[in-house]
Amino acid sequence: MALHDTHPIWTTPEMRDAIAAGNPGAIVRLARRAADLTQTQLGTATGYTAASISRMERGKQPMRDMVLLTRIAEVLNIPPQLLGLAPRHTAPPALGGVPRPGTGGTRVAGRDVRDVFGDQGEGEDPVRRRNLLAGIAGTATGTVLGGASAASAGARPTLTGLEDLLLHRGGTPVGEPTRASVTAAVDASRRDFGTCRYDTLARALPSRIALAQALGREHVDGQGQSATAVAELYSIATRLCIKLGEDGLAAVTADRALTAALAGAGALTVAEAHRMVSSSWRRQGHYARATDVAVTAAQHLAADRTTPEPQRLSVQGNLYATAAYTAAKQGDRHTAHTLIAEAEATAKRLGADQSPAGTAFFGPSQVLLHQISISHLLGDAGTAIDHARQVNTVQLPTAERRARYWIDVARSFDQWNKPGNCYRALLAAEEAAPQEVRRGAVKSMTASLMRHDRTLPGVRSFAHRVGALT
């Protein structure tokens, strides 16, 4: 983990001697050990080999590589001047941007969110820009190396258990299939997805789905809850498969979700299952069919009066927003704008961001998130950023939503040819959810940022962390 200024290591006799002697190798060795990192881990985080780190610590390699020294200082939070580097600015001013009313600005990685949206014009002081990026990179790196959730970010979640379940070869329920245990299984799956714990979710879903199925088999009075739970769990599985780029598997899980919902779940669950079917069609390139599925489901739900209005509006609005995104993916500007306007009108009827019982988050913020994506897909990067400035990230309900927001911001800045802003948005996404930044879109953007590695301190290390160099 990165070392704080108050860490005891800085006051030990060994560190004081190393500083007094001007021995950067000894300083790095002591700081690395205090951070509980091996030479291999430090090498991976900085983009160098463990052998290079070892030679440097032992004084066998002259410490004249400013890039290496800068990356080490970032990862371990060593004051740069101790390694013969220029000191960091301790309080870089914000680079501009518009603070959202009533928030005073949102903090990301310990800094104001306006740093991400700051102007990257030709007149900006390049030293100031480099120090700002280095500071954010150092904070994000500390999180990645020190956090428990980040430790598993390097391994891609395996869906073998889910595949076996779909082939009727696996999925053993854990525990007694009761109403309470099934409710707990669904709630846990929602939390795992919302916190981007995709590895945990992938391992747990087969047994949770089997548990929900067992409830319907063993308890006649639990068949309705069983159908609802199985449908919701398969919907979550579909979203997970889409995250991992398993589009073929997503089509199967979406079909299972709809089949379960139609077997006894309520109108809201059926509508949400249709949204997953729509998403799976979109991922396979069938845009017109995907749009039709979502819009038809929204219209059917609008006529339903068996569910409370907040839940109905929430699901209905998400369906229109999903359909708008699909239309934009097809390049149909008119349909995309028409449908997102329908989602916006639905959000106004709802009144505020909500997560009504049993439904997904929806409201004005969700509409804005889709407007960012839609504008980017239609080539309107400036409009996308204008929408992004209006989002209060503190009010987004989960780490997954926050990380997805920052990735969309990064995409828009990448499209706008603003690499510094793009990089800072990616670091903010990593801060929100390390597992989320190992997706294909992030890897692609990061690879293109590598050509700016001289002006984007830490980008090579970031590329290693997200798997862009493997």
Which positions ≥6 away from 165 have C-beta within 8 Å?
171, 205, 206, 209, 210
* Region of residue 300 (phi > 0: left; psi between -120 and 50: alpha; otherwise: beta): alpha
For residue 151, name the pLDDT band (cuts at 50, 70, 90): very low
Amino acid type, 325: Y
- Tens digit of each residue's pLDDT (9 = 90 or more) over 188-225: 999 999 999 999 999 999 999 999 999 988 887 888 99
pLDDT band for position 356 (cuts 50, 70, 90): confident
**Which of 68, 65, 28 shows the shortest CA–CA distance to 47?**
68
Cα separation of 344 and 390, whole Å? 14
Q: What is the pLDDT of residue 118?
A: 66
Domains of the chain: 1-87 (1.10.260.40), 156-265 (no CATH)
431's enclosing H/E stretch is helix 419-432
Neighbours of 255 (CB within 10 A): 17
Please write the tens of the pLDDT for every residue from 164-177.
998 876 678 888 99
Tokens 């379960």 sit on residue: 260
pTM of the model: 0.71
Tokens of 444: 């692609």
| Count of CB atoms situated within 10 Å of the CB of 124 | 15
Residue 311 host element (H or E): helix 309-330
For the chain, the C-alpha Rg in angstroms (whole number) is 24
Q: Which residues on adjacent β-strands are paired with residue 108?
A: 111
440 band by pLDDT with thresholds 50, 70 and 90:
confident
Q: What pLDDT does 170 receive?
A: 67
Q: Please state at what angle helix 179-194 crosses helix 399-415, rounded to 10 degrees.
A: 30
* Dihedral sign, Cα of residue 377, residue 379, residue 381, residue 385: negative
β-bridge partners, 112: 107
